[in-house]
Structure 1
Amino acid sequence: MDNKIRLFTGGTQPTSVGPFAVNEAEQVETRPGNRPSPRELHVTGTAEVSYPADRASVRLSVGNNKTTVNEVTSSVSRRLEYILQAVRQHGVREEDITVRKFLHRDQEVYHMNAEVTVTFSDFDQMEHACSVLLEKLDRSVSVGQPRFFHSAECLNRVRQSACVSAVENAQQKASRISQLLGQSLGAPTLVREDETREWRSHGEDDEEEDGGGGRRGQEAASTQVTPLPRIPSVTASSRVSVYFRMRDGNRKKY
């Protein structure tokens, strides 16, 4: 992390660059016999903020084979309607439900498949809904593994939180420095975001290394327990530069 500190005495105000720059440099009032020298403290602040995924998508599939179109359509439609009713009862909105159907014939047999993709924002409700469907429809329904992801609103929150936390860290640093120097910290004259980064963790489980097929690998192969899916996270970092006006310690800060 960058912990750069600069103290400016006299000179001109730094120029703002970048889309996130906010320049609020104030004019120094001069009076006869009293020409104050503007002094500035330049500090940098950094922060990292992580958020877990706030959405999960689950794919539900049903299908059947019959000798007539009416029979296969009626069979699949009944189970499809039960799936839709179950997910709605678990707080899923209509815009978060996507339904696809496909009907085809192979010689004298009609095949119909239906797929429902549901996006959940409540993971407890997702687990309960999937359990209900498996209990009631048993083998006639296929429930896929959830795919976790971040909504646009969540990504905006993590980016903003990283920037705000970096500014707060810079302000705390500047306050401690001004106290150490016997100065009074004035208002910021420039806030600039110098660098932003963003990365995501992997949602898949990492395979454990056993040194070439040892006992751990044999035990895992024998039990064949399906691992629970991990909830990935996104991390955003921000580095900001903040310039503060410095005043004598006997003057009030504003």
Structure 2
Amino acid sequence: MNAPIFTALPPAEFAGADQQQGPDLRAGNRAVLGGQLREVQVTGVAEVSCPADRASVRVSVSSTKESVNEATDSVTRRLDYILQALRQHGVKDADSSVRRFLRRDADVYIMDAEVVVTFSDFQKMEQICGVLLEKLDKSVCVGAPRFHHSPGCLDQTRQRACVSAVENAQQKATRISQLLGERLGSPLLVREEGTKEWRNDDDDEEDGGREQRSAPHFPHIPKITVSSHVSVSFSFTDKSRKL
């Protein structure tokens, strides 16, 4: 993207433009203190991607018995084992929730229950799912993990994208000032023009796509990509002045 270079007119000549364009030119004018405005205005764009840092897994159990107590006891025993396994692997109680539902169908009682667990450690998630499937076998249903991003992860990704875009703009301005034989000064204005976000649910890499389709099924961890577009104005300093 080409970086436009703006040199200032004397104050009397751009007074009208100052009124039309608002605070951008006024900010630069204050930095000049009555002299000619000498600046470079550049844009910077950056994209930052971050994989999901959270995963939720549903573990469900069910029992069909002729009495309420039998159905309830059968489900409760398995729930107790599931919750105990979670605690033994260091999962906090706040990261899991339990739901139970008892219903009657003709002459039998059906007790359904599920545990929803949120993991930040995916290796621990795999270990726990393996233990539950091994010990409870067909009496438990372990769902596929659903990945998502925590609010903190999203905020950090947005900040990184904006900072990277500003760094790119500064690098561009530095090269332009060297090309013109100028000395780059302090920033006059930093403005984020816009941002975009999108989720990469599928693997974007075309290479190896066929191999992935034929490989064993593994849960795919999606990514979120944030793009930031900034506009930055820098002053040109007087070379005669010492830094």
On whether the aligned pair clears a TM of 0.5, the verdict is yes
Letter in 2 for 1:240: V
Q: Relative to structure 1, is the Cα distance of residues 24 and 122 closer, same or farther in structure 2, using a 3 angstrom cutoff?
A: farther
Letter in 1 for 2:229: R
2:196 paired residue number: 197
Structure 2 unaligned segments of length 5 or more: list them.
Answer: none
> 8 Å contact 2:47–2:226 — kept in the other structure?
yes
Aligned pairs (5 A) from 1:23-172: 26-29=30-33, 36-172=35-171
Q: Relative to structure 1, is the Cα distance of residues 252 and 129 closer, same or farther in structure 2, using a 3 angstrom cutoff?
A: farther
Partners of 1:153 and 1:7 in 2: how far apart? 39
2:235 paired residue number: 245
Once the two structures are TM-superposed, the CA of residue 248 in structure 1 deviates from its matched residue by: 3.1
3-state SS in 1 of match to 2:218: coil
Higher mean alpha-carbon deviation, 186-195 vs 80-89, is at: 80-89
Partners of 1:209 and 1:123 in 2: how far apart? 24
Once the two structures are TM-superposed, the CA of residue 158 in structure 1 deviates from its matched residue by: 1.1
Give the share of equivalent positions with the same residue, in percent: 56
> 8 Å contact 2:29–2:37 — kept in the other structure?
no
Q: Relative to structure 1, is the Cα distance of residues 16 and 126 closer, same or farther in structure 2, using a 3 angstrom cutoff?
A: farther
Partners of 1:105 and 1:60 in 2: how far apart? 22
Q: Relative to structure 1, is the Cα distance of residues 90 and 161 closer, same or farther in structure 2, using a 3 angstrom cutoff?
A: same
3-state SS in 2 of match to 1:131: helix
Q: Where do 4+ consecutive residues of structure 1 move more than 6 Å? A: none
2:173 paired residue number: 174
Structure 1 unaligned segments of length 5 or more: list them.
Answer: 18-22, 31-35, 211-215
Once the two structures are TM-superposed, the CA of residue 194 in structure 1 deviates from its matched residue by: 0.9
Partners of 1:177 and 1:246 in 2: how far apart? 11
Once the two structures are TM-superposed, the CA of residue 8 in structure 1 deviates from its matched residue by: 1.9
Q: Relative to structure 1, is the Cα distance of residues 196 and 93 closer, same or farther in structure 2, using a 3 angstrom cutoff?
A: same
Higher mean alpha-carbon deviation, 146-155 vs 93-102, is at: 93-102
2:218 paired residue number: 228
1:185 paired residue number: 184
Count of residue correspondences: 230
Question: How well do the aligned residues superpose, as a CA RMSD in angstroms?
Answer: 2.8
Once the two structures are TM-superposed, the CA of residue 133 in structure 1 deviates from its matched residue by: 0.7
> 8 Å contact 2:161–2:226 — kept in the other structure?
yes
**CA shift digits 1:145-172 (9 cap, x unpaired):** 0011111111111111111100011111
Q: Relative to structure 1, is the Cα distance of residues 146 and 203 closer, same or farther in structure 2, using a 3 angstrom cutoff?
A: farther
Once the two structures are TM-superposed, the CA of residue 7 in structure 1 deviates from its matched residue by: 2.6
Letter in 2 for 1:227: H
Q: Relative to structure 1, is the Cα distance of residues 90 and 209 closer, same or farther in structure 2, using a 3 angstrom cutoff?
A: closer
Partners of 1:239 and 1:131 in 2: how far apart? 45
Once the two structures are TM-superposed, the CA of residue 197 in structure 1 deviates from its matched residue by: 0.7
Partners of 1:182 and 1:27 in 2: how far apart? 21
> 8 Å contact 2:28–2:37 — kept in the other structure?
no
**CA shift digits 1:104-144 (9 cap, x unpaired):** 22233221111111111110110011011111111111001
Q: Give the TM-score taking structure 1 as reference length.
A: 0.81
Partners of 1:62 and 1:108 in 2: how far apart? 20
3-state SS in 2 of match to 1:37: coil
